[in-house]
Amino acid sequence: MFNLPQSILDNPGYFRQLSCRDSLISVYNCPLENKYEDTWSQYNYIVYVKEGRKIWHTNSGSWDLREGSCVLVRKGAVIVEQFFDVTFCLVLFFITDQFISEVLKTKSTPMTGTPKKFGPVIPIENNAGVQSFFQSMMPYFDAPKKPDDSLLELKFRELILTIADNPANEELVSFFSALQSGPQGISLQRVMEDNFCYNLKMEEYARLNARSLSAFKRDFQAHYKTTPGKWLTEKRLHHASHLLTNLGKTVAEAAFESGFENASHFSRAFRQRFGTSPLSMKQKKAI
């Protein structure tokens, strides 16, 4: 998997981008290498589709994003599907929990939201304020000199306040409220349940949980009473079994969609756990 914001930061000549502190906004119109690409981000990010189409696949559903779509993608991993027969242009805005909370504290009216379980992708109404913001940012990308950080921070704050002030963004407002109420606004359990089926490294799971690797392993052991490696293998194998027997996935598809590096590694682990090969279990279910 590749880290989407880090990939953009490492290639300033390839991606038009503006950054301030840990926040980053970029115009993204370079195709990924494959039809389906695993990506992850340690930050929440807003996607605004100026042109074209991409599909964000998560373990709880898919979001078909087309021209005019605007969503917040929660920190974690996704599979991005692209279409090589159409041109596309996205604006991606990566923002930290801390920055969101800082901005919301300046609101004259406090944030209120009903606690709920949030999906990995949260829709944002593409109203006149949102459209105006992204249109106003485009000249800065083409300017010969980077805007002053103070100006960029004001613009970044503008977007957060604009979408937070819209009553139509009820789910997003509730999510923002949750960020303010908790020390990290996100639990270790939620991160793991949402991202177990992606082939992330332990260091990457630790970053998603805003912990050092040692602290992540310690907190994981305290919560789950087992190691991250053992828990991930078990969760992935049961998920793969479900994909094979209930959703009709092929062995290769089940391996990929369950976070295994390759089909041969998956088949070995599957046989050790269930005493039969993935193909045999699939065929037995089909009878």
The alpha carbon of residue 251 and the mean position of all alpha carbons in its chain are separated, in whole angstroms, by 26
pLDDT in tens, 156-188: 999 999 999 999 999 999 899 888 776 443 578
Does residue 138 sit in helix, strand or coil? helix
Give me the pLDDT at residue 286, please.
63
Of 128, 154, 43, 139, the residue nearest 92 (C-alpha): 43
* Nearest in space to 195 (alpha carbons), one of 239, 225, 143: 239
Average pLDDT value for the chain: 90
User: Distance between CA atoms of 147 and 160, rounded to whole angstroms?
Assistant: 19
Q: Is the pLDDT of residue 29 over 90?
A: no
Count the Cβ atoms, other than its own, within 10 Å of residue 126.
17
The 10s digit of each residue's pLDDT in 79-104 is 999 988 888 999 999 999 889 999 99
Hey, what domains does the chain have and what are their CATH numbers? 2-181 (2.60.120.280), 187-287 (1.10.10.60)
Task: Output the pLDDT for position 114.
Answer: 65
Record the pTM.
0.88
pLDDT at 283: 86
Q: Is the pLDDT of residue 139 over 90?
A: yes
**85-89, 183-187, 192-196, 202-206: which range is least confident on average?**
183-187
Amino acid at 6: Q
pLDDT (0 to 100) of residue 185: 38
- pLDDT for the residue 36: 85
**How far is Cα 219 from Cα 227, in angstroms, rounded to an integer?**
10
Percentage of the chain beyond pLDDT 90 is 69
